[in-house]
């Protein structure tokens, strides 16, 4: 329950990612409760089991491209999720401190228009996070229901065969025979579910964080405009000494907040560098593999499964690019606001202060990782690369 004295953003703060993070035990909190440790260890174990077993299955069956890709697709996703789980668990104290700093910055702004803007940004982030969670859940459900449907069909038509596991995976012989087969099926189902909750938390957390940082930059823009709007300087050609003193005082507070937002962005980039890099390196392969699976699969159920998989993979990639794009655009927009104000009416000392803020704002803050920066341009490039891979692979089929 939200305290009535808290700002409007309190009810929307990481609403969807928080749920997913708590399910797999990696939501940043200090001290960490015992049940969170248990949930994390279980999630890590089943996701790691799926990642290793499925990737091994793909390598063993490289002679059959469709079978290998059906193993590599979820196996690669789970391998990246193992990395995401470990990064968040290993740095949970730093993540907790970072979230508290961000929370303090957003809670400190009480103006209704500012809170309304933050709520709108948070709503967009939470809806996209929900889309990712929903598409991932649909994909996992399709993987797990498909063998049951095929087994039921064979039983009703009195055809030979037994129910297969939901994922192509290498397991010990005793694990795929009665009486342990049902347990193995349940564990693989849990592996898929924990994978969905893991990437929906981490990717949703990244998007929400980027949107809140974007909101911080927009609050700075609003405050800069308000500094000069409150002076009612339209009636004077040059600001008086008292006006300049007031401007410098208020700009000093804004500069401190601006620096705090930049520091938050820098820390987010540092913590997410490995995650974003590995996600983008695997994104083109996963997209290429899922689309090839759709094209090569003769089963309508498998085709539907990989359509859901493609939607989830595209949503994951879009979340990173959309969030990174918002951060860079909103940080650069601070410079545009500074240029549009009545800086020419200020004295030399105030102009120098404005110029310093302007020059820093002109270097747009980005979520940069080695080799590229997440942006909508990068999103288009990865889609183009995936298309090129598909065209190349089709020549060998």
Which residues neighbour 198 within 8 Å (Cβ) at sequence distance 6 or greater? 20, 24, 26, 43, 47, 81, 84, 85
pLDDT of residue 1: 41
Which has the minimum average pLDDT: 199-203, 222-226, 274-278, 362-366? Answer: 362-366
pLDDT of residue 2: 46
Q: In sequence order, what DSSP letters do the residues of 230-291 get, joined into one string? A: TTTGGG-SS--HHHHHHHHHHHHHHHHHHHHHHHHHHHHHHHHHHHHHHHHHHHHHHHHHHH
Task: Enter the DSSP assignment of 173.
Answer: G
Q: Is pLDDT at 79 greater than 50 in this prediction?
A: yes
Q: Is pLDDT at 263 greater than 90 in this prediction?
A: yes
Strand partners, 369: 372
Whole-number Å distance between alpha carbons of 101 and 98: 5
- Decide if 87 contacts 275 (C-beta within 8 A): yes
The model's pLDDT over 99-114, given as tens digits with 9 standing for 90+, comes to 999 999 999 888 899 9
Whole-number Å distance between alpha carbons of 356 and 376: 29
Q: Is pLDDT at 4 greater than 60 in this prediction?
A: no
Q: Which two tokens stand for residue 29?
A: 């909190």
The model's pLDDT over 205-257, given as tens digits with 9 standing for 90+, comes to 999 999 999 999 999 999 998 888 877 656 678 888 888 898 899 999 999 99
Q: Provide, rounded to the nearest whole percent, the portion of the chain with pLDDT above 90.
A: 46
Task: Enter the DSSP assignment of 70.
Answer: H
- 218-251 as b/e: b if 16+ CB within 10 A: bbbbbbbeebbeebebeeeeebeeebbebbbebb
HSE of 332, CA atoms in CB hemisphere, 13 A = 9
- Decide if 282 contacts 76 (C-beta within 8 A): yes
The model's pLDDT over 341-369, given as tens digits with 9 standing for 90+, comes to 888 888 899 899 888 888 888 777 888 77
């Amino acid at each position: 329950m939200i305290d009535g004295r808290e700002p409007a953003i309190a009810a929307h703060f990481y609403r969807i990612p928080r749920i997913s993070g708590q399910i797999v035990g990696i939501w940043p909190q200090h001290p960490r409760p015992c049940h969170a440790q248990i949930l994390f260890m279980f999630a890590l174990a089943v996701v790691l089991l799926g990642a290793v077993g499925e990737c091994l299955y793909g390598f063993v069956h490289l002679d059959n491209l469709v079978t290998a890709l059906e193993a590599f697709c979820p196996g690669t996703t789970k391998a990246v999720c193992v990395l995401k789980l470990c990064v968040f668990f290993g740095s949970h104290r730093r993540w907790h401190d970072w979230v508290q700093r961000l929370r303090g910055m957003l809670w400190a702004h009480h103006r209704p228009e500012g809170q309304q803007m933050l709520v709108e940004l948070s709503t967009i982030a939470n809806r996209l996070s929900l889309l990712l969670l929903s598409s991932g859940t649909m994909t996992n459900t399709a993987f797990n229901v498909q063998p049951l449907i095929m087994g039921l069909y064979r039983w009703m038509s009195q055809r030979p065969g037994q129910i297969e596991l939901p994922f192509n995976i290498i397991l010990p012989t005793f694990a795929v025979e009665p009486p342990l087969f049902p347990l193995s099926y349940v564990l693989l189902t849990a592996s898929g579910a924990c994978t969905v909750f893991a990437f929906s938390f981490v990717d949703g957390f990244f998007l929400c964080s980027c949107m809140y940082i974007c909101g911080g930059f927009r609050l700075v823009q609003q405050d800069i405009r308000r500094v000069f709007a409150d002076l009612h300087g339209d009636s004077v050609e040059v600001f008086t000494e008292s006006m300049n003193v007031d401007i410098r005082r208020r700009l000093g507070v804004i500069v401190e907040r601006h620096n705090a937002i930049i520091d938050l962005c820098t820390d987010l980039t540092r913590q997410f560098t490995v995650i974003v890099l590995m996600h983008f390196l695997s994104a083109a392969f996963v997209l290429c593999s899922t689309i090839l699976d759709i094209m090569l699969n003769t089963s309508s159920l498998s085709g539907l499964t990989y359509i859901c998989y493609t939607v989830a993979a595209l949503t994951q990639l879009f979340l990173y690019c959309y969030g990174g794009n918002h951060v860079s655009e909103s940080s650069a927009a601070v410079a545009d606001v500074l240029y549009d104000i009545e800086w020419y009416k200020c004295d030399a000392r105030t102009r120098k202060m404005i110029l310093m803020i302007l020059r820093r704002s002109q270097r747009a803050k980005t979520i940069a990782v080695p080799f590229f920066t997440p942006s909508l341009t990068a999103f288009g490039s990865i889609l183009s690369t995936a298309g090129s891979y598909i065209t190349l692979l089709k020549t060998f089929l």
